[in-house]
């Protein structure tokens, strides 16, 4: 039965409306309709198409769900080859400078001639595709393949929500081929892996592999379930199109046609412009919501591009300038167990040295036994190591095909590898611990390092090499021993000379004068971080009442719950710990007699705030200082008691939790505005300097 006129018109209107909402949602990131309303429209269209199959056009949004599975991909010959570009891998400015110098030479420019204008873009780490639109409708999508012939992934590309099925505007070119990158956003990747984990399935290694795998699924219905995204960056064949005359204008035009184009692109001039772009993006890289492996420089003017032409299938007018790779393959030579300050046993993979993220990596923490099994890392495995920014290196996955016959499972030891004490694991905890306490030299070393650390007693110059010797040679057993040692004792150690020993003694001397909060923190009580130490200092005002407080009394301190109270009580119940405190006091460690006992005053008095993500200008320490100065506390986790969550870019689960609990969310500007407004609130008149 032919579709009545009304049904055809309705279907067309629905297609247009659904496409508009899809665009707002997936390209503009600005939803225009609640999900339920959207679903209604979608179902109505599906209903019409089921009744009148001839209404099911290739550009219908219902076609994004994927069709029947293919046995294999059909080959597609690219009308214009899909080129690759030359890569400059060095991290220094010279990559950009070499490129600019080459371009100027090729164009016959001299010193003193005007700088060349470039369009600088991000280099997305995904999979290149070419999308072909005829009369405004997406008719085919192909992978790059060997550049001449790719694979037909049309059905799969239709499932990518940010790829327009129909171009915007009412005068579409006869033919428009748009090239760009299919990729996966990091948050989508993490969510997808969480689901895989929950379902007991294999984890994906990184967003790029996940994206490539998803696009090359033979069953488009599978692709449809993978959260893929797209950025346009170039052109293939065009016909009947008044093509823009610069790369920048071209991308702007593609944006108006409905394509997602990354907003970090910039028109810059000369080598200095390129170098500055490379540096800026390098700083931004870790905070981006997706992976990039470099930047791409393109001569902006199309006529200059034509003049420059190609060498051996690579355009002379474009170059990729990479950043140091953040992922590398290496092998796990062993899995050792480290013992931390609180006795926690951490499996650490000993790796064949590998240069990744700008440094040579030989260790990667595996956190705990559960993590080793979750990632299925075995000794002898080839693994992918990732190091991004200043984050500690991690193993993201195992290359299963490369597991040798001789691979061995990791087994958590039953005795502490350092002191031989029994290893215990508390009910419901993931971590194993050494039960040796300060009898265990490993715990002693870590306890000393923590004691001396900047935020604790701040003994400058007492690093791990020194602590190692001091403990191994039994020169220092407790932190109090530090205060008994003279220049000669330190000077006798490896890597120490008279001068450095003198400086160290002076630093130890200086640390005698401290604050109660630092002192409590320095003790290294389990579950007592800097914030709790400050709370305890503020509440008890002196060490003796803290030492004699029972668990009930401890729980009257804001934010101290049963677990923390039990840790504190257990610490002070240990005679050895009390002795160390006495020795420290006898050694002259002291703090202002009447430390602030008053309740905090200020805008955030009694309030607890949580920081998450990267703020645009404030560091975490700076934000914490501002909040504390206003009487607030910064806490590590979001609860119903949290007053505000201050969220920056790449905020994760804490932000989700805040939204769930209805906690007020601020960005940096919001925080600053509140603080600025708070300045006008009169402070406590009895305490004008608060």
Contacts of 275 (CB under 8 A, 6+ apart): 93, 96, 97
Site string for ligand IVH, 96-125 (x = CB under 6 A): -------------------------x-xx-
Residue 55 CB, nearest approach to ligand IVH (Å): 36
Residue 124 CB, nearest approach to ligand IVH (Å): 4
Query: 103 or 480: whose CB is closer to ligand IVH?
Result: 103
Q: Does 424 sit near ligand IVH (CB under 6 A)?
A: no
Cα 631 to the center of its chain, rounded Å: 30
Query: 320 or 580: whose CB is closer to ligand IVH?
Result: 320
Query: 129 or 339: whose CB is closer to ligand IVH?
Result: 129
Considering only 6-14, 79-87, 612-620, 664-672, which stretch makes contact with ligand IVH by CB under 6 A? 79-87
Instruction: Please report, as residue ranges, which positions from 121 to 160 form the binding site for ligand IVH (by CB under 6 A).
Output: 121, 123-124, 128
Residue 234 CB, nearest approach to ligand IVH (Å): 5
Q: Does 343 sit near ligand IVH (CB under 6 A)?
A: no
What stretches of 99-188 adopt beta strand conformation (E)?
117-124, 127-134, 137-143, 149-151, 175-183
DSSP 130: E
Query: 124 or 540: whose CB is closer to ligand IVH?
Result: 124
Among 275, 296, 447, 496, binds ligand IVH (CB under 6 A): 296
Residue 311 CB, nearest approach to ligand IVH (Å): 12
The tokens for 305 are 């591009």
CA neighbours closer than 13 Å in the CB half-sphere of residue 298: 25
Return the number of other C-beta atoms located less than 10 Å from residue 30's C-beta.
8
DSSP track, 472-523: HTTS-SSHHHHTT--HHHHHTSTT--HHHHHHHHHHHHHHTB--HHHHHHHT
Helix, strand, coil tally for the chain in percent (to 5): 40, 20, 40
CA distance 148 to 79: 8
Q: Does 481 sit near ligand IVH (CB under 6 A)?
A: no
Q: Does 236 sit near ligand IVH (CB under 6 A)?
A: no
Among 150, 315, 343, 347, binds ligand IVH (CB under 6 A): 315
Instruction: Please report, as residue ranges, which positions from 350 to 369 form the binding site for ligand IVH (by CB under 6 A).
Output: none
Query: 250 or 339: whose CB is closer to ligand IVH?
Result: 250
Instruction: Report helix, strand or coil for 166.
Output: strand
- Say if CB 158 and CB 220 are below 8 A apart: yes
Among 83, 302, 325, 596, binds ligand IVH (CB under 6 A): 83
Report H helices in 245-397: 247-256, 270-284, 302-308, 369-375
Query: 118 or 410: whose CB is closer to ligand IVH?
Result: 118
Q: Does 95 sit near ligand IVH (CB under 6 A)?
A: no
Which residue is closest to ligand IVH by CB?
A: 128
Q: Does 291 sit near ligand IVH (CB under 6 A)?
A: no
Which stretch of DSSP H or E encloses residue 347? Answer: strand 344-356
Q: Which sign does the torsion angle of CA 492, 496, 502, 504 carry?
A: negative
Catalytic residue from among 123, 344, 445, 654: 123
Among 84, 331, 503, 527, binds ligand IVH (CB under 6 A): 84
SS (H, E, C) 628-671: HHCCCEEECCCCCCEEEEEECECCCHHHHHHHHHCCEEECHHHH
Q: Does 288 sit near ligand IVH (CB under 6 A)?
A: no
- Say if CB 429 and CB 342 are below 8 A apart: no
Q: Does 91 sit near ligand IVH (CB under 6 A)?
A: no
Which stretch of DSSP H or E encloses residue 451? Answer: helix 441-452
Residue 264 CB, nearest approach to ligand IVH (Å): 10
Query: 121 or 177: whose CB is closer to ligand IVH?
Result: 121
Report in angstroms the alpha-carbon separations of 433 from 37, 257, 534, 559: 53, 60, 27, 25
Among 320, 440, 482, 603, binds ligand IVH (CB under 6 A): 320
Which stretch of DSSP H or E encloses residue 299? Answer: strand 292-299
Residue 322: φ, ψ to 5°: -85, 160
Among 153, 257, 318, 457, binds ligand IVH (CB under 6 A): 318
Residue 325 CB, nearest approach to ligand IVH (Å): 14
Among 24, 33, 41, 85, binds ligand IVH (CB under 6 A): 85
Q: Does 33 sit near ligand IVH (CB under 6 A)?
A: no
Residue 16 CB, nearest approach to ligand IVH (Å): 30
Q: Does 181 sit near ligand IVH (CB under 6 A)?
A: yes
Residue 562: φ, ψ to 5°: -60, -40
The burial class, CB within 10 Å (0-12 / 13-18 / 19+), for 249 is: middle
Instruction: Report helix, strand or coil for 65.
Output: helix
Among 233, 410, 451, 604, binds ligand IVH (CB under 6 A): 233
Residue 79 CB, nearest approach to ligand IVH (Å): 15
Query: 181 or 188: whose CB is closer to ligand IVH?
Result: 181
Among 164, 234, 236, 343, binds ligand IVH (CB under 6 A): 234
322 labelled catalytic: no
Torsion angle (degrees, nearest 10) of CA 673, 675, 680, 686 = 170
Number of residues engaging ligand IVH in binding (CB under 6 A)? 14
Q: Which residues bind ligand IVH (CB under 6 A)?
A: 83-85, 121, 123-124, 128, 181, 233-234, 296, 315, 318, 320
Catalytic residue list:
123
């Amino acid at each position: 039965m032919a579709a009545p006129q009304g049904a055809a018109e309705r279907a067309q209107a629905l297609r247009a409306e659904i496409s508009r909402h899809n665009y707002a949602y997936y390209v503009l990131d600005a939803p225009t309709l609640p999900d339920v309303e959207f679903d209604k429209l979608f179902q109505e269209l599906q209903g019409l198409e089921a009744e009148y199959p001839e209404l099911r056009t290739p550009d219908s949004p219902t076609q994004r769900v994927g069709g029947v599975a293919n046995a294999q991909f059909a080959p597609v010959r690219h009308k214009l080859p899909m080129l690759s570009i030359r890569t400059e891998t060095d991290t220094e400015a010279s990559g950009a400078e070499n490129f600019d110098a080459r371009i100027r030479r090729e164009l016959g420019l001299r010193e003193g001639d005007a700088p060349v204008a470039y369009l600088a873009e991000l280099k997305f780490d995904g999979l290149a595709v070419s999308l072909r639109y005829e009369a405004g409708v997406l008719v085919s999508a192909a992978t790059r393949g060997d550049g001449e012939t790719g694979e037909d992934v049309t059905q799969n590309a239709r499932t990518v929500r940010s790829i327009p099925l129909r171009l915007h505007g009412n005068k579409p070119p006869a033919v428009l081929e748009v090239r760009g990158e299919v990729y996966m956003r990091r948050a989508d990747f993490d969510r997808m892996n969480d689901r895989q984990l929950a379902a007991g399935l294999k984890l994906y290694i990184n967003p790029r592999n996940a994206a490539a795998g998803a696009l090359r699924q033979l069953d488009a219905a599978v692709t449809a379930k993978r959260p893929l995204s797209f950025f346009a960056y170039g052109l293939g064949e065009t016909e009947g199109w008044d093509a823009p005359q610069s790369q920048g204008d071209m991308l702007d035009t593609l944006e108006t046609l409905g394509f997602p184009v990354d907003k970090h692109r910039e028109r810059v001039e000369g080598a200095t412009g390129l170098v500055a772009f490379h540096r800026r993006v390098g700083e931004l890289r870790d905070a981006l919501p997706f992976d990039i492996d470099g930047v791409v420089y393109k001569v902006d003017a199309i006529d200059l591009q034509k003049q420059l032409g190609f060498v051996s299938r690579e355009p002379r007018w474009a170059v990729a300038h990479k950043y140091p790779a953040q992922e590398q393959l290496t092998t796990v030579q062993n899995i050792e167990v480290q013992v931390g300050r609180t006795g926690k046993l951490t499996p650490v993979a000993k790796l064949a040295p590998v240069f990744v993220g700008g440094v040579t990596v030989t260790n990667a923490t595996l956190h705990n036994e559960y993590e080793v099994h979750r990632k299925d890392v075995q000794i002898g495995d080839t693994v992918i190591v990732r190091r991004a920014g200043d984050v500690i290196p991690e193993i993201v996955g195992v290359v299963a095909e490369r597991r040798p016959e001789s691979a061995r499972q990791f087994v958590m030891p039953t005795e502490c590898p350092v002191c031989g004490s029994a290893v215990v694991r508390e009910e419901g905890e993931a971590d194993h611990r050494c039960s040796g306490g300060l009898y265990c030299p490993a715990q002693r070393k870590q306890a000393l390092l923590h004691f001396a650390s900047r935020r604790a007693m701040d003994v400058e110059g007492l690093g791990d090499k020194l602590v190692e010797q001091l403990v191994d040679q039994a020169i220092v057993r407790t932190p109090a021993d530090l205060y008994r040692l003279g220049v000669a004792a330190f000077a006798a150690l490896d890597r120490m000379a008279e001068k450095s020993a003198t400086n160290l003694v002076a630093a130890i001397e200086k640390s005698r004068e401290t604050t109660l909060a630092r002192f409590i923190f320095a003790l290294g009580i389990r579950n007592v971080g800097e914030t709790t130490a400050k709370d305890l200092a503020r509440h008890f005002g002196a060490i003796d009442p803290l030492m004699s407080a029972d668990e009930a009394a401890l729980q009257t301190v804001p934010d101290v719950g049963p677990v923390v109270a039990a840790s504190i009580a257990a610490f002070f119940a240990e005679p050895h710990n009390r002795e160390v405190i006495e020795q420290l006091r006898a050694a002259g460690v002291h703090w202002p007699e009447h430390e602030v006992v008053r309740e905090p005053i200020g805008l955030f008095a009694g309030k607890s705030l949580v920081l998450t993500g990267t703020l645009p200008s404030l560091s975490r320490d700076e934000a914490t200082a501002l909040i504390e100065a206003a009487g607030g506390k910064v806490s590590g986790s979001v609860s119903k008691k949290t007053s505000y969550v201050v969220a920056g870019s790449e905020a994760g689960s804490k932000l989700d939790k805040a939204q769930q609990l209805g906690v007020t969310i601020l960005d940096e500007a919001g925080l600053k505005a509140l603080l600025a407004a708070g300045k006008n609130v009169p402070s406590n008149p009895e305490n004008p300097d608060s």
